[in-house]
Amino acid sequence: MSVSKRRGMAMVAVMAAALAVGCSLPASGVPARGSDDGVQRGLDRLVHKDKYPAALAATVGRDGRTRNDASGVADLKTGAKVPVDGQVRAGSNTKTFTAVVVLQLVGEGKVALDAPIEKYLPNLVRGEGIDGRRITVRQLLQHTSGLPEYSDAIGDLTGKDRHTYLQPRTLLDTALAHKALFAPGTSWSYSNTNYLLAGLLIEKVTGRPLAEQITHRIIQRIGLRHTYFPGAGDERIREAHPQSYFAAKPGGPLENITEMDPSWGWAAGQVISTPSELNRFFAALFGGKLLKPAQLVQMRTTVPADGLGTGARYGLGVTSTPLSCGGLMWGHGGDIPGFKTRPAVTDDGRAVTIAVTANQAPTKQGPADVKALLDSALCKK
């Protein structure tokens, strides 16, 4: 999900969004290793040419089989082997989880998409050019609210501030201290603040914690065994995982930043998952297993998303991007210090998630090569 932010704060970046047809994946079983020579060669290029410490991929072909590939090392210090389908910080893919819960509440009649956020969070959203009475729930989920970005002003998340716990209200206060980017509904700009408010909306309407709602309504519902929302103070990644790294500039020294407090991401970027389970999540979503048809239609109704790539469009927590072979890939994407993840599915059931263990690319070409591999893997006949 990538919108440029200052030094290592980008959690964003996106790659795809919302179509629903036939994206089914096996519910269980051990994925095979060594899917496809083309994918493996692409991962090897990301490691050897683009200098990512490790690159992982999970793919689902037209035959419905899930396969995993990996390249590089899990730990630059020890040279340890990359774990097959290891856990990674999913970054802004969390936004899709949050949007699903909001849309489930819409389907239950508890939230109205075109109601102002003021209805659910009265007297909270106020600032210079900012008025919660004029910003709708839909505009939050679609990044058309004009709200400023909080993550640009919360400290050095790759250095001294990476172990700091930040409460949602602290993050919101940081955002509201800045003026609006534009009048609601008049433009588009990616802002984590939108999903911060979506998380607060969920907690207000349900009377329960966001992490619990995502867990019960999505993770447990579709049987994701290696996906979770870290609890307060949980700085580690629980299961087998590669280490993650950050360089202040392309070609700069790589620093291990695997352990961090992800609270600053919260409803916009806190989830941990694996490449294969991100495939399963997006396939279940677009296959109609998490939302009613009316809400799925709303989710995949998109607007132009300048800055996310040629032809990219944003729905409600999802984006669509044209494929070089025709058609669209749908999903989201995530950048959080140390990890970049790109999941995408197609309407005929193909799915690919690529993860690399540095979100600030060691080389300038790295992000383009990740995107190219995602496209080529989905376009393979």
- Annotated catalytic residue 92: yes
User: Which residues partner with 344 through β-bridges?
Assistant: 331, 352
Inter-residue contact 210 to 164 (CB < 8 Å):
no
Name the residue with tokens 């060594």: 34
Phi, psi for residue 265 in degrees, rounded to 5: -85, -40
Query: Nearest to residue 373, comparing CAs of 327, 308, 329, 307?
Result: 329
Inter-residue contact 47 to 376 (CB < 8 Å):
no
Inter-residue contact 2 to 333 (CB < 8 Å):
yes
Inter-residue contact 295 to 137 (CB < 8 Å):
no
C-alpha to C-alpha distance for 339 and 140, rounded to whole angstroms: 25
Catalytic residue (choose from 35, 71, 92, 145): 92
Inter-residue contact 54 to 73 (CB < 8 Å):
yes
Q: Which burial class, exposed, middle or buried, applies to 121 when counting CB atoms under 10 A from its CB (0-12, 13-18, 19+)?
A: middle
In the chain, how many H helices and how many E strands? 10, 16
Alpha helix ranges (H) inside 207-255: 210-214
CA 101 to chain centre: 15
C-alpha to C-alpha distance for 354 and 46, rounded to whole angstroms: 11
Name the residue with tokens 């998380």: 199
Q: Residue 297 contacts by C-beta under 8 Å, 6 or more apart in sequence? A: none
Residue burial 6-37, b: 16+ Cβ < 10 Å; e: rest? eebbbbbbbbbbbbbebbebeeeeebeeebee
Inter-residue contact 374 to 352 (CB < 8 Å):
yes
Q: Which residues are catalytic?
A: 92
